[in-house]
Structure 1
Amino acid sequence: MTPLVFFKALADDTRLRSILLIQSQSELCVCELMTALDEIQPKISRHLAQLRKLGVLVDRRQGQWVFYCINPDLPQWAADILQTLAQQESQLISANLAELQKMGDRPARTSQCC
């Protein structure tokens, strides 16, 4: 992955918030991101597919759920940027995390994605 591709992926608000939410929670499914971001399923799924295609995210299936997490093979410079963003700009997703915490019936996890 090149820096240009990576930064273009982060340039969209939905993708950026999704990545930061996933990083903060280790993994999330589409329904959790829909709740946290107050967006419709097709939009979230489209952005997740783009991030998966670019290699920023990986997914795993557990029954009817598909969970997404940060690709453990992400270049170190990219992982460092995401970590720095999460630490320095936590207020960017604080309202989204609050919405996620209010969500009932979150899917149970039997293992971690990555």
Structure 2
Amino acid sequence: MSKQPVVDPDLVACCPPIATRRLEANQAEVIAPMFRALGDPVRLRLMSMIASVPEICVCDLTPEFALSGPTISHHLKVLRDAGLVESDRRGTWVWYRVRADAFRQLGALLRVPAPTAEASA
């Protein structure tokens, strides 16, 4: 239904947390679209709604916003193209779910180790 996701799980899975090692240029190229997609307040709200359930129909997302259906569809397409959500059409409606692997990768990338006793002294 949509283009191939920007995220390459094999490439991103190798990324250590940026708190422990610098991110390589090619890794940043893969991950940046995900953060760019989440940088919009509407898309961030959509992601929180989609992530809060196993899957959700676009018919349940659209009424939550004071935006037109096509605008919501555009935001959902950005999230799909960034590799953050998957969708499938069932009849006239499209159902969305989070791509858990993408969120695990973002979470691992942002993980900051707890300070050691020596560092906090």
Shift of 1:22: 0.4
Q: 2:34–2:83: 8 Å Cα contact kept in structure 1? A: no
Shift of 1:37: 2.2
Q: 1:30–1:41: 8 Å Cα contact kept in structure 2? A: no
Shift of 1:33: 1.2
1:42 aligns with 2:70: yes
Q: Which residue does the alignment assign to 1:31? A: 59
1:64 aligns with 2:92: yes
Shift of 1:75: 5.5
Q: What are the residue-to-residue correspondences of 1:13-28 with 2, within 5 Å?
A: 13-28=41-56
Report SS of the residue matched to 1:25.
coil
Q: Which residue does the alignment assign to 1:112? A: none
Q: Which residue does the alignment assign to 1:11? A: 39
Superposition TM-score, scaled by structure 2 size: 0.58
Residue identity matched to 2:40: D
Larger Rg: 2
Report SS of the residue matched to 1:60.
strand
Q: Gaps spanning 5+ residues in structure 2: where?
A: 1-6, 8-29, 109-121
Shift of 1:18: 0.3
RMSD: 1.9
Shift of 1:57: 0.8
Kindly report structure 1 stretches of 4+ aligned residues shifted beyond 3 Å. Answer: none
Q: 2:84–2:103: 8 Å Cα contact kept in structure 1? A: no
Higher helix share: 1
Aligned length: 80
Q: Deviations over 1:23-80 (max 9, x none)?
A: 01222222211112232101100011111112111002222211011114426232x3
Q: Gaps spanning 5+ residues in structure 1: where?
A: 82-114
Q: Which residue does the alignment assign to 1:74? A: 102
Q: 1:31–1:41: 8 Å Cα contact kept in structure 2? A: no
